[in-house]
Structure 1
């Protein structure tokens, strides 16, 4: 089967699943943005996905993304950074991405502020929350989140647009639901004292995105379910 046929079938299946999750939870389809998680995918496959209707893509590595973003510069794609961002890559990242979804450390915020000053930019970010408190993952622990956001609000070049998480992996996506529920509660609590631009909740990947939608996700990050298994 060629890539175009495969991606189209996958995309239609994803749309059906989103529709079903929205109906089940009383949400509107328009509330959900699909982000194509495109690390290790070719520009060619990204192009196919774009033509199918996905306008937002996420990359995990600045260097890999730079090459693809250049190759696809004629397409009006919105690129988000969804990996762990090293401070020495911030300068380059700000030229490439319209949002950083993984802000989780003050030294990273300081570097974003510094580079954004030089470029005269305002940088939209999501704060990454380590909802499962996994030591191997990035993200701010839930109990430290409000203090962290309070500190980041002092950086005038950074706009916090919402929260992001990657919960512990479970074969059975139902087991992830409690993490998404907790995330949604945290999001709603913080939203009460943020401005109206604080509205994105990025959670849910190929294995559990329907559950994430039922629990309030606004951005789902889909890799394998769209592009097929990476070889």
Structure 2
């Protein structure tokens, strides 16, 4: 686990350096460890190193980890598209959802969120580059969906999320993240405080453009094996 500790420390240093470079206060950017395909033992080790927020993409795998780690005070984030038949366990088990791109899914999550739990924090996923292979709502449709989601009683709309096309060109990275920030600023909905953007290869550009939460997997856990048959 020495490699895990070194990786976490390196990512935290990158985040802090990015905050400093653009004059943002320390701690203004949260680290979400994207832990899909990692065993519960690795998440437990990361928790012991101070990591509290974990993001999962595969529901069945996530539920098994949640059960194995029920003794830990973890904030669980579900990332990615959601099928209608999976909304109930997500509504019952997660603290955050990144990936709302249809009102139908948001309505089901609201209806199925237990009254005993606080409202489910959600971000709308925006397909910022209009890629045919990516999930997310088109930028032109963000406002309509956001206002509808903000009115659902068991959800708390927190902001926007995006996964832009990968590029090593720093200017293009900045442009995509800037566009998401500008979309958020134009919404005018009270309480929006989250820009979920930036991953291992572009977190510095994301922080410079206003990210409040970066989703990091590879730089923490290393490259993952290709997942097959997960749900």
What residue is the counterpart of 1:96 in the other structure? 93
Q: CA deviation at 1:120?
A: 7.0
Establish whether residue 208 from structure 1 lines up as the match of residue 202 from structure 2.
yes
Q: CA RMSD in A?
A: 1.6
Secondary structure of 1:14's partner? Answer: helix
Q: Secondary structure of the residue that 2:173 maps to in structure 1? A: helix
Aligned length: 225
Normalising by structure 1, report the TM-score.
Answer: 0.92
- Judged with a 3 Å threshold, the aligned counterparts in structure 2 of structure 1 residues 120 and 206 are, in CA distance, closer, same or farther, namely closer
Give yes or no for contact 1:131–1:167 (8 Å, CA) kept in 2. yes
Q: For the residues of structure 1 that align with 2:197 and 2:107, how far apart are their CA atoms?
A: 25
Pick one of 219, 223, 226 that aligns with 1:225: 219
Q: 1:50 to 1:118 in 2, by over 3 A?
A: closer
Q: Do structure 1's residue 144 and structure 2's residue 144 form an aligned pair? A: no
Deviations 1:133-184 (A, max 9, x none): 1121111111111111122233222210111111111144543211011111
- Please show how residues 1-231 of structure 1 align to structure 2 within 5 Å: 4-116=1-113, 122-190=119-187, 193-195=188-190, 197-231=191-225
Query: Following TM superposition, by how much is the alpha carbon of 1:54 offset from its aligned partner in structure 2, in angstroms?
Result: 1.1
Work out whether residues 149 and 155 of structure 2, in 8 Å CA contact, stay in contact via their aligned partners in 1.
Answer: yes
Distance 2:124 2:22 in 1: 25
Any gaps of 5 or more consecutive residues in structure 2? 226-231
Structure 1 residue 51, shift from structure 2 partner: 1.2
Q: What SS does the corresponding residue of 2:113 show, helix, strand or coil?
A: helix
Secondary structure of residue in 1 paired with 2:165 = coil
Alignment partners' CA distance in 1, 2:168 and 2:209: 18
In 2, distance between residues paired with 1:173 and 1:54?
A: 28
CA 1:156/1:45 → structure 2, altered by over 3 Å: closer, same or farther? Answer: same
What TM-score does the superposition give when structure 2 sets the normalisation length? 0.92
Q: Distance in 1 between matches of 2:163 and 2:179?
A: 13
